[in-house]
Chains A and B, each alone.
Chain A
Amino acid sequence: AQSVAQPEDQVNVAEGNPLTVKCTYSVSGNPYLFWYVQYPNRGLQFLLKYITGDNLVKGSYGFEAEFNKSQTSFHLKKPSALVSDSALYFCAVRDGGGADGLTFGKGTHLIIQP
């Protein structure tokens, strides 16, 4: 069975500082990893994904994520946080050898303080 862990319920960062939102995963096959963002009362928006290849993946709004196979992690990063980045972030995984649905983490609230 596939699973995702987001160990932090909330991350607080000052505007202009770098941010990291952590994600670890467990799958039996090759992992396909995704990050989504949810603004209040909205659906989820796709940020970026890792399929294969470069371990550093670049996505929307200046976000990037680093895939680490040995640590089974896929942390979301941004060099300089904006207040508008404040939202709920979800990491998700799809097992390359398994079911078609996404398995999501519980989400991390990112709060950027001016």
Chain B
Amino acid sequence: NAGVTQTPKFQVLKTGQSMTLQCAQDMNHEYMSWYRQDPGMGLRLIHYSVGAGITDQGEVPNGYNVSRSTTEDFPLRLLSAAPSQTSVYFCASSYAGQNTEAFFGQGTRLTVV
């Protein structure tokens, strides 16, 4: 049972480069979301999706794009990486509903130099 799978685990980018962080879940969850974790700041919501074809912005969406063409996949795109985007990124999924717990991937550690 794979759960939530994120790739890659580690990535180093140069300022201005673009890349896509991949996230896939095999639990048929409706909700998926992306968070970034920075020291002393907890996790902050970047974007989320309540189903295929539906996405919305979270607390810190600037510099990131998402799309949800299938229930399973929710990629996060950095169009032009900046050092401020150095962080650990977590993807999460859950069943629909406000009272459902989220399942998290193992994270992607991104460094922008």
Residues of A whose CB lies within 8 Å of any CB of B are 4, 9, 32, 34, 36, 41-46, 49, 51, 90, 92, 94-96, 99-107
Contact = CB atoms under 8 A, between A and B. Distances in A.
Interface of B: 4, 31, 33, 35, 40-45, 48, 50, 56, 58-59, 90, 92, 98-99, 101-107
Given A90-B43, A103-B45, A96 B90 contact: no
A12 B81 CA distance: 38
A108 to B, nearest CB: 10
Contacts of B56: 99-100
A101 to B, nearest CB: 4
B99 A32 contact: yes
Given A101-B33, A101-B45, A43 B106 contact: yes
A58 to B, nearest CB: 14
B58 A101 contact: yes
Given A43-B105, A43-B107, A44-B90, A100 B98 contact: yes
Contacts of A100: 31, 33, 48, 50, 56, 98
